[in-house]
Amino acid sequence: MSENKKAEKITGVKGMNDLLPTDSPLWELFENTAQSVLQSYGFQKIVTPIIEDTALFKRAIGAVTDIVEKEMYSFTDAMNGDQLTLRPEGTAGVVRAVIEHNLVYEGPKRLWYKGPMFRHERPQRGRYRQFFQIGAEAVGFAGPDIDAELIMLCRRLWDDLGLEGIRLELNSIGDAAERQRHRADLITYFEANAELLDAEATRRLHQNPLRILDTKNPAMQDLVNKAPKLLDYLEAESIAHFEGVKRILDHNNIPYTVNPRLVRGLDYYNRTVFEWVTDALGAQGTVCAGGRYDPLIASFGGKPTPAVGFAMGIERLVELMKMAGEPALPAQCDVYMVHQGEAAQMQAFVLAERIRDAGLDVVLHCAAASGAGSFKSQMKKADGSGAAFAVIIGDDEIANHVAIVKSMRGAEDDSQQSTVPFDEVVDYVVDQIVGDHDHDHGHDHVHYHH
Ligand code: ATP
Ligand code: MG
């Protein structure tokens, strides 16, 4: 590259976001809260690869769906010709892993996952090409009890996050035979009103007419509202299952509305389907969607195993958290080490390690491109870090074997500072921080059982 030619900037891929340090504490708060709620119901974490065989998604999601028709990032592995896809959702991979590792051999399993998903959609608020989901899959459970439990778990998460105005929509889509009878009547109904269908609906009419009910086209709302309702086609067993879910929700005071138009377009979904919806996010108002998929595992050659799950969109939920106000987020550190001169720097390193040993978070000032920085500029950094204390060491302190420990939380002029011998600095700041107020930084050591 010639000296005066500026290097060309490379930007991120459209629709794929960076999570910046300003937002990451909020994400972490969301993820930690979700994880602890999942654990409080006995769910266990599973991690599957981001890439799977394209065939897995085609079969699990179904050929006539938005995802498989037009949203998948599929490619041929240049090394060996394998047909691969960046996962557009989490259920398919989890189900594959459950079968591959015979995970339900000893009985049902409650599983959860989180991670990035990829769909080639038109990017807009709440809709990205890489987005993150946290999901749960309860595998091997047949009854309405687990359906209700999954829903109540979500409810608890919204409560723990302090999110209001997320409402539950519930429906049952019955089984394949019930849907078949409904489908026949639905096609007849739409054919009789063919002039009211838009192009997409016309195309789907004979492939996946159920999906037409999901249309967002305002001109078709009246038509789909008057269409035959799948709920009216359910028979005894499906009705009993649905009533069972509702009974548990009612008993636990979980409000919901039955939305007969709520369908999951996916081929293998059956019985319970639900969505958690908010009005606060504009058009992208669904923050969590779930349902039962009893036939899926057998369709993959596994032993017939009922299952039910949900997935929530993290971006949309974090946006709701932002709208709810500023949650108290942790400071970058407890202690900021300010130092000047080589001897002071050496002492600062030693003290920083000892304060970390005591379980506190320490940022040690390090040189920037502009140099090590004056006391004044280091103190500014200390202030910006949110640290409770600055520990300051210069030539005078080295000569006297002491550090200045300055409280950063008081008002500018009456903020306290003490001169503390090196040997006592650790105890001093630990006492002040842990003794003073609720301390939320200290990390316990991980204990391993051998
Ligand atoms: P939509 O009808 O909005 O396209 P969907 O049925 O495709 O939703 P699911 O596959 O059920 O969505 O995914 C579950 C949740 O994941 C959604 O409710 C949403 O919160 C989130 N989600 C789905 N697609 C995206 C995306 N492209 N960007 C951000 N979040 C998404
Ligand atoms: Mg979608």
For ligand 1, atom 16, the nearest C-alpha belongs to 313
Residue 270 makes CB contacts below 8 A (sequence gap 6+) with: 173, 174, 175, 176, 291, 292, 293, 294, 295
- Tens digits of residue pLDDT in 143-160: 999 999 999 999 999 999
Domains and CATH numbers, the chain: 24-175+235-323 (3.30.930.10), 335-439 (3.40.50.800)
Phi, psi of 130 (to 5 degrees): -115, 125
- Tens digits of residue pLDDT in 223-277: 999 999 989 999 999 999 999 999 999 999 999 999 988 887 666 789 999 999 9
Helix extents (H) in 21-142: 24-40, 54-61, 66, 91-100
Q: Is the pTM of the predicted complex or chain greater than 0.85?
A: yes
Question: Atom of ligand 1 at shortest distance to CA of 288?
Answer: 18
List the 51-53 sheet strands across, edge first.
Answer: 51-53, 83-86, 73-76
For ligand 1, atom 8, the nearest C-alpha belongs to 286
**pLDDT, average across residues 127-138:** 98
Instruction: State whether the beta carbon of 58 lies less than 6 angstroms from ligand 1.
Output: no
Which residues in 82-98 are b (16+ Cβ under 10 Å) and which e? eebbbbbbbbbbbbbbb
Token reading at 176: 């394949």
**pLDDT, average across residues 444-450:** 59
Percent of the chain with pLDDT over 70: 94
Look at strands 402-407 and 417-421 and give their pairing. Answer: antiparallel
For ligand 1, atom 28, the nearest C-alpha belongs to 127
- Tell which wins on pLDDT, 302 or 91: 91
Residues 141, 321: contact at Cβ < 8 Å? no
Q: pLDDT at position 447, please? A: 63
Which residues in 157-194 are b (16+ Cβ under 10 Å) and which e? bbeebebeebebbbbbbbbeebbeebbebbeeebeeee
- Tens digits of residue pLDDT in 58-85: 998 887 778 888 999 999 999 999 999 9
Expressed in angstroms and rounded, the spacing between residue 105 Cα and the centre of ligand 2 is 33
Instruction: State whether the beta carbon of 313 lies less than 6 angstroms from ligand 1.
Output: yes
- Tell which wins on pLDDT, 254 or 303: 254
Q: pLDDT at position 36, please? A: 95
Query: What residues form DSSP beta bridges with 309?
Result: 137, 291
Q: Could you tell which of 73, 127, 208, 288 is best to mutate to test the pocket of ligand 1, judged by most ligand atoms within 8 Å of the CB? A: 127
Which ligand places an atom closest to the C-alpha of 120?
1
Question: Atom of ligand 1 at shortest distance to CA of 119?
Answer: 27
Instruction: State whether the beta carbon of 405 lies less than 6 angstroms from ligand 1.
Output: no
- Categorize the per-residue pLDDT at 372 as very low, low, confident or very high, splitting at 50, 70 and 90: confident
Q: pLDDT at position 34, please? A: 97
Residue 55 makes CB contacts below 8 A (sequence gap 6+) with: 83
Question: Atom of ligand 1 at shortest distance to CA of 264?
Answer: 6
Expressed in angstroms and rounded, the spacing between residue 234 Cα and the centre of ligand 2 is 27
Q: Helix, strand, or coil here: 396?
A: helix
CA distance 151 to 133: 16
Other CB atoms within 10 A of residue 371 CB: 8
List the 109-118 sheet strands across, edge first.
Answer: 44-45, 109-118, 130-139, 307-313, 286-292, 270-277, 167-172, 257-258
Which ligand places an atom closest to the C-alpha of 88?
1
pLDDT higher than 90, residue 3: no
pLDDT higher than 70, residue 319: yes
Residues 134, 18: contact at Cβ < 8 Å? no
Other CB atoms within 10 A of residue 53 CB: 14
Q: pLDDT at position 443, please? A: 46
Q: pLDDT at position 63, please? A: 72
CA distance 291 to 170: 9
Q: pLDDT at position 332, please? A: 86
